[in-house]
């Protein structure tokens, strides 16, 4: 009886996986995975050169891995088994208490090189009379150590990196660690399924920024604060695909944009707002702020400000929900995407008559951020 049951289970498994294989071949290929938030591998081209070098076999394996039927369901089941087995981390993500998903902080390798980049650009800009500010933002792994699984806290070296960079930086350094610790008592600082900070955390650090630069920060009651989405699964969820994960909420601090003139990509993109409602109906809802992180350059002119100050923002996507606060204090704000902008930061500063520069990056991707490699 037991042997018969084993044979039946084996036969079922063979039939099931055979059916998955057939469906994979029959069903149309998908270009993009909404759940994983990434482009999927497509059917490889068969050439003699690829076969000889074994490239075709590798590409075919990657193709079937990405396109296999029920892929997302398999991944969710696997994620559930990892949670049950109490794995410390899964696919680069700590599955933590209180529904937190927190990215593992990898051993930094490029800190000295990045410090050199910041030093070089600060020298160039200061010679032009530009006042440079550096803000490095620690992430959830540093601010919420109490929810991490055993052993995870010891692997976090974010603060060591921050201290090393700030100690060698010639810019005005804005350390927001204490600000975030104080804010943590009353609000959630980061999304539980995404690597970004929340707009509440960004507002608190905006107040700190204003204090450091001598501006008067706008009070919260100057904004129309509302939840624009309560169904957000972010980038970390896309890695983990944990079952029964509660959604995050996306909050916006909005004001009238009648006084703003907003130009994306030198007018090549006709978007005219700091926000993009269309992303709220898609998975990547954080792209609601500044309409994704893919624009080459955004220029924002505030017709109500007449102080002669022009701000250049060089940043990662953490700044996307931070920039809307800054436009209240400068005649013009230039947001530069140095992942793609090839003319150089110094040339942009000269072109726009920049008086102030803000370099804003989160510490989790500081070591590998391609936007930092583009600073010169």
- Whole-number percent of the chain with pLDDT over 90: 63
d(CA 143, CA 328): 29
Most confident of 53-67, 81-95, 164-178: 164-178
The pTM score is 0.83
- pLDDT at residue 185 greater than cutoff 50: yes
310-315/356-362 β-pairing? parallel
Region 255-262: mean pLDDT is: 97
Banded model confidence at residue 261, pLDDT cuts 50, 70, 90 = very high
Count CB-CB contacts under 10 A for residue 293.
18
Region 162-189: mean pLDDT is: 97
Residue 47 or residue 84, greater confidence: 47
Please list the residues that pair with 93 across neighbouring strands: 90, 103
Q: Are 314 and 324 in contact (CB under 8 A)?
A: no
Distances 125 to 77, 269, 347, 351, 354 between C-alpha atoms, Å: 52, 29, 10, 12, 9
What is the sign, positive or negative, of the torsion defined by CA atoms of 141, 192, 135, 222?
negative
Region 5-26: mean pLDDT is: 55
d(CA 357, CA 330): 11
C-alpha 185: how far from chain center: 24
Give per-residue pLDDT as tens, 264-295. 998 888 889 999 999 999 999 999 999 988 89
Predicted pLDDT of residue 19: 59
d(CA 271, CA 284): 18
What value does the mean pLDDT of the chain take? 86
- pLDDT at residue 91 greater than cutoff 70: yes
Predicted pLDDT of residue 269: 83
- pLDDT at residue 142 greater than cutoff 80: yes
Count CB-CB contacts under 10 A for residue 42.
14
Banded model confidence at residue 79, pLDDT cuts 50, 70, 90 = low
Predicted pLDDT of residue 268: 85
Lowest mean pLDDT among 60-69, 125-134, 342-351: 60-69
Please list the residues that pair with 297 across neighbouring strands: 336
Predicted pLDDT of residue 156: 81
Residue 218 or residue 24, greater confidence: 218
Region 86-114: mean pLDDT is: 87
Give per-residue pLDDT as tens, 219-247. 999 999 999 999 999 999 988 888 889 99
Banded model confidence at residue 27, pLDDT cuts 50, 70, 90 = low
Predicted pLDDT of residue 159: 94
* Cα three-residue angle 265-271-272, rounded to 5 degrees: 105
């Amino acid at each position: 009886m037991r042997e018969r049951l084993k044979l039946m289970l084996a036969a079922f498994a063979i039939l099931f996986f055979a059916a998955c294989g057939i469906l994979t071949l029959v069903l149309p290929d998908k270009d993009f995975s909404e759940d994983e938030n990434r482009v999927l591998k497509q059917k490889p081209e068969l050439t003699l050169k690829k076969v000889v070098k074994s490239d075709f076999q590798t590409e075919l394996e990657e193709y079937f891995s990405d396109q296999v039927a029920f892929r997302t369901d398999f991944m969710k089941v696997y994620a559930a088994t990892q949670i049950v087995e109490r794995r410390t981390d899964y696919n680069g993500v700590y599955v933590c208490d209180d529904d937190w998903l927190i990215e593992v902080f990898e051993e930094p390798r490029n800190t000295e090189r990045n410090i050199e980049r910041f030093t070089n650009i600060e020298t160039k800009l200061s010679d032009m009379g530009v006042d440079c500010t550096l803000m490095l933002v620690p992430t959830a792994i540093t601010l919420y150590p109490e929810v991490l699984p055993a052993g995870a806290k010891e692997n976090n070296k974010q603060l060591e990196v921050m201290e090393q960079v700030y100690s060698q930086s010639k810019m005005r350094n804005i350390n927001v660690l204490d600000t975030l610790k104080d804010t943590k008592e009353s609000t959630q600082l980061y999304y539980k399924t995404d690597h970004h900070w929340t707009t509440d955390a960004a507002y608190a650090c905006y107040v700190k920024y204003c204090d450091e630069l001598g501006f008067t920060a706008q009070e919260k009651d100057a904004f129309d604060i509302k939840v624009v989405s309560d169904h957000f699964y972010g980038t970390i969820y896309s890695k983990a695909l944990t079952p029964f994960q509660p959604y995050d909420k996306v909050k916006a601090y909005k004001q009238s944009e009648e006084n703003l003139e907003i130009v994306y990509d030198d007018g090549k993109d006709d978007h005219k707002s700091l926000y993009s409602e269309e992303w709220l109906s898609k998975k990547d809802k954080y792209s609601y702020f500044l309409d994704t992180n893919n624009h080459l350059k955004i220029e924002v002119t505030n017709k109500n400000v007449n102080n002669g100050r022009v701000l250049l923002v060089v940043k990662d996507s953490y700044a996307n929900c931070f920039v809307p606060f800054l436009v209240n204090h400068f005649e013009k704000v230039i947001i530069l995407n140095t992942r793609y902008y090839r003319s150089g930061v110094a040339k942009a500063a000269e072109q726009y008559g920049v008086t102030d520069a803000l370099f804003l990056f989160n510490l989790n991707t500081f070591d590998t951020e391609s936007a930092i490699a583009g600073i010169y």
